[in-house]
A and B are shown apart, each in its own frame.
Chain A
Amino acid sequence: MKITSKTMAGLLRAGIYLIVALTAGLGLGACTTTTIDEFRQGDTGINTGESIVILGRRQGAAYETGADFVECVGNRMGRGNGAITVVPEQTFVDALFPWFEPRTAPMRSEDLQQLMAQPLVTDKMAEFGVRYIVWLDGQTETSNRMGSISCAVGPGGGGCFGFGSWEDDSSFEARIWDVSSHTAVGTISADASGQSYVPAVFVPIPLIARVEANACNSLADQLKQFVIGG
């Protein structure tokens, strides 16, 4: 088959149209929906010199709360208006070894009372000035993977063609314990979902829904407000 310059120009134009159409059409689709729920059980507030620690739950066999998500929430809470001092997770867990390991960590706020009866634990908590312990539990799951992208390289150049998409769902829950009263003071849950797309006409254009990042930001902002109280 003979490919004329006219046909080539037509193909190129069609490709450009396709990219523009997909970008415009799917730009909205790459958005993320986030829902935050708050359940308050007690009054909160934090004084100067007091801090919080955010710990990931890692008891489950099926999944573990990612350390990067815990770090993301902590970083967000530690900056901006009304920044709160957040003790890094690993520093806290190492300093209080062996009481906050996956196998030994307190599961209920009542267990905290028992734990705080240990003078060595109380001393370390006081050293860090920990007022609240926030337990984060959850994960991000990817589902509905569809499509395929093929890439080829030849002497005249290379390119990709195809289309891929997937859906991310983040579901996290934060339980807040007051160390001074050994009680649970509230629960905040964050659910986020979004569809990501990668159309490829010569060059793949990723339109990624920042699902986990949005869940992190929303949860951290809500947690900050919750801890500050008022």
Chain B
Amino acid sequence: MLLLLAGAVVLSACGASTVTVEGSYPSPNIPPLPMTLGVYYSDALRNHVYTERTDAGKDEYLVNSGGSHIELFNTVLPAMFQQVIVLDDLAMANERGVDAVFIPNIDEFQLGMPQKTRLDSYEVWVKYNMRLTEPGGDYIADWVMTAYGKTAQSTFGGAEGGINDAAVAAMRDLASNFSISFTSVPDVRDWLQPRLQ
């Protein structure tokens, strides 16, 4: 029995830890744009998992942020637009009567661990690709956004908590920047101008 327990402990110590990012995001206080936005979450975004590896190349942490990203966009977008419709399929955009389709994606995810960076904090940096198309799929805008979050390493908190908090801070950074700067993206602004007059 003892041998079995010891074996289980050894085996669990060898595997990578999974961090499923969990956080709550406030709704932005901005006037909503008078339009119906369709949003399409790709499988790549929904199931996004970042793998942090040791120097020896072994999986150390699996950061699962897909669910939290969906939660973030589902909180932020309804405050930014009069109506938001989540599309399961891009082909449905025309029949759902949306004005435009928004497709967010994660291009890059980086994690800074205190033991590697020699800093006293956990850091998360994310590069996003944001795409806005006509309901038929024609181009409106395509732009890159970056988000950064960090959290101080606490004496008693584990690495999982630090990674989670840094990821939540990064996503909050994305939400604030996205909600304020959306109408300033040149191609979005050009497309919006005649519709807002």
Q: How far does the alpha carbon of A227 sit from the alpha carbon of B71 in the complex, in Å?
A: 41
Query: Which residues of chain B are within 8 angstroms of A37 by Cβ–Cβ distance?
Result: none
Cβ distance B26 to chain A, nearest Cβ, rounded Å: 4
B175 within 8 A of A: yes
- Establish whether residues B180 and A98, one from each chain, have CB atoms under 8 Å apart when the complex forms: yes
- Establish whether residues A104 and B29, one from each chain, have CB atoms under 8 Å apart when the complex forms: no
Task: Identify which of B26, B29, B152, B175 contacts A120 (C-beta below 8 A).
Answer: B29
Cβ distance A120 to chain B, nearest Cβ, rounded Å: 4
Query: Which residues of chain A are within 8 angstroms of B150 by Cβ–Cβ distance?
Result: 64
Task: Identify which of B26, B31, B180 contacts A104 (C-beta below 8 A).
Answer: B180
**Which chain B residue shows the least CB distance to A93?**
B26
With contact pairs A101-B172, A101-B173, A103-B177 given, residues A64 and B29 touching in the complex (Cβ less than 8 Å): no
- Count of A-B residue pairs with CB < 8 Å: 39
Within 8 A of A (CB), among B157-176: 172-173, 175-176
A40 within 8 A of B: no
With contact pairs A102-B173, A120-B31 given, residues A97 and B26 touching in the complex (Cβ less than 8 Å): yes
- Establish whether residues B29 and A97, one from each chain, have CB atoms under 8 Å apart when the complex forms: yes
Interface residues of A (CB under 8 A from B): 64, 66, 94-99, 101-104, 118, 120-121, 124
Interface residues of B (CB under 8 A from A): 26-31, 150, 152, 172-173, 175-177, 179-180
What are 28 contact pairs spanning A and B, CB under 8 A? Answer: A66-B152, A94-B26, A95-B29, A96-B29, A97-B26, A97-B27, A97-B28, A97-B29, A97-B176, A98-B28, A98-B29, A98-B175, A98-B176, A98-B177, A98-B179, A99-B29, A101-B172, A101-B173, A101-B176, A102-B173, A103-B173, A103-B176, A103-B177, A118-B29, A118-B30, A120-B30, A121-B29, A124-B29
